[in-house]
Amino acid sequence: MFDILPLKGGLDNVEGFFSGGVSVGLKTENKKDVAFIRSDTLCDVGAIFTSNRFQAAPIRHFKRYGEIFQTNFILINSKNANAMTGEKGVDDIDELFLHIPSFLNAKNPIMSSTGVIGYRLDTQKIAKSFELFDFNAKDSNAAAEAIMTTDRFKKEISVRVDVEGKGSFHIGAICKGAGMINPSLATMLCFIATDANVPKELITTLLKEAAEDSFNAISVDGDTSTNDTVMLLSSAKSGVWDQDAFIEALKFITKHLALEIVKDGEGSKKVVAFEVKNAAALDEAKKAAKALSNSLLVKTAIFGEDPNWGRIASTIGACGITCKEESLIIHYDDVLVYSSQKLELDKESEKAANAVMKKESFKIICDLGVGTENYTAYGCDLGHEYVKINASYRS
């Protein structure tokens, strides 16, 4: 038996972790642009990275440490992705890390970056952050702010988990992401810290399991960045371990943050859950749900609040899965909009479906009727704001 209790803030409640964010002038108007997360003891690390073949320099730098290692320091910058910068980009990180104050005893320091592709890091500028940081701060809020790019709001969450007869542990996280969000982890960074006593051989496996139905189920525009990173650090300070409790709490955290990212999808106003039910195989359910969440025609119809279910059907038919016109049933929340028995939207259903679409959040449910597997993907509408933001991102 265990309880998951929501707490305020992000990383601050987790024992042994310190964090903060400062401005060194990468962003304009003195906005915070560099963050650190550190632990006063060495932590095991689990990480998942982008599937993009052009992994950014910080990811390649991380991989130099090998499969299993411990760390106590992460540095994160926004505004510059340090991607497509070759080996020089990786060397820049080493050069930057020479400036880490020695009193921190930084071991295997980790870098993470987000921003524009194709520019070398200004290591002198970023090194200034080491003079500005209060390394004893618990200021997760400032760290969350410093890692934002096109995000409209900060993303933090933390929980305490009480396990009967064992004690309590915490998980906390900060996250960024709004654009280039796609099914296989797009430009998003997420740093999760815990004081649970996670066995080091499980840390990446559990992180992957939690990401599967959360970060891997969301989509804003179907593109995949060079920098996506989800990282889990464990200080083990609580001494408590309960796998069921931990994975449930971790899923709660990752699902919450994933939905926050969709909610913050560039210019989006609505969050839509695309539930694909009774598919012939789990892979097919996933494929259909993600195809729906990525379809431009579906996304613009959602933006226009037009219950044009034909676009839903057409997308299902086009995505290459087993499906039959006769067995397909489509609902918008609880409003039936298509079954082969009920063709053409009557006025009443059209009105009801339109009312559903006016909500800030709703479900589009496609029952394929050809099997028993289900999957839900999350997406958003695409409107004028998306175009505006992405036509002029660099400036």
Binding positions for a copy of itself, rule: CB under 8 A: 50-55, 81, 83-86, 88, 116-120, 179-180, 182, 184, 221-226, 295-297, 300-301, 303-304, 306, 308-311, 313-318, 320-321, 323, 325-326, 338, 340, 343-345, 382-384, 386-388, 390-395
Rounded to the nearest whole angstrom, what is the least distance from the CB of residue 97 to a copy of itself in the complex? 21
Q: Could you tell me how many residues make up the chain?
A: 395
Rounded to the nearest whole angstrom, what is the least distance from the CB of residue 318 to a copy of itself in the complex? 4
Rounded to the nearest whole angstrom, what is the least distance from the CB of residue 3 to a copy of itself in the complex? 40
CB nearer a copy of itself, residue 6 or residue 86:
86
Q: How many other CB atoms are there within 10 angstroms of residue 72's CB atom?
A: 22
Cα(172)–Cα(8) distance, integer angstroms: 10
Annotated catalytic residue, options 187, 194, 226, 254: 187
CB nearer a copy of itself, residue 5 or residue 387:
387
Rounded to the nearest whole angstrom, what is the least distance from the CB of residue 229 to a copy of itself in the complex? 15
Cα(262)–Cα(179) distance, integer angstroms: 9
Q: Distance of CA 154 to CAs 141, 147, 174, Å?
A: 8, 9, 8
50 among known catalytic residues: no
Torsion angles phi and psi, residue 90, rounded to 5 = -75, -40
Cα(128)–Cα(114) distance, integer angstroms: 18
Rounded to the nearest whole angstrom, what is the least distance from the CB of residue 393 to a copy of itself in the complex? 7
Angle CA(300)–CA(305)–CA(311) in degrees, nearest 5?
Answer: 50
CB nearer a copy of itself, residue 91 or residue 209:
91
Q: Distance of CA 49 to CAs 32, 110, 184, 287, Å?
A: 24, 13, 9, 21
Rounded to the nearest whole angstrom, what is the least distance from the CB of residue 84 to a copy of itself in the complex? 5
- Which contacts (CB < 8 Å, 24+ apart) does range 353-360 have? 353/307, 353/309, 354/305, 354/306, 354/307, 356/307, 356/332, 357/302, 357/305, 357/306, 357/307, 357/332, 358/305, 359/270, 359/333, 360/269, 360/270, 360/271
CB nearer a copy of itself, residue 163 or residue 180:
180
CB nearer a copy of itself, residue 175 or residue 298:
298
CB nearer a copy of itself, residue 223 or residue 248:
223
Checking DSSP bridges between strand 70-77 and strand 34-49, what pairing results, if any?
antiparallel
Active site residues: 187
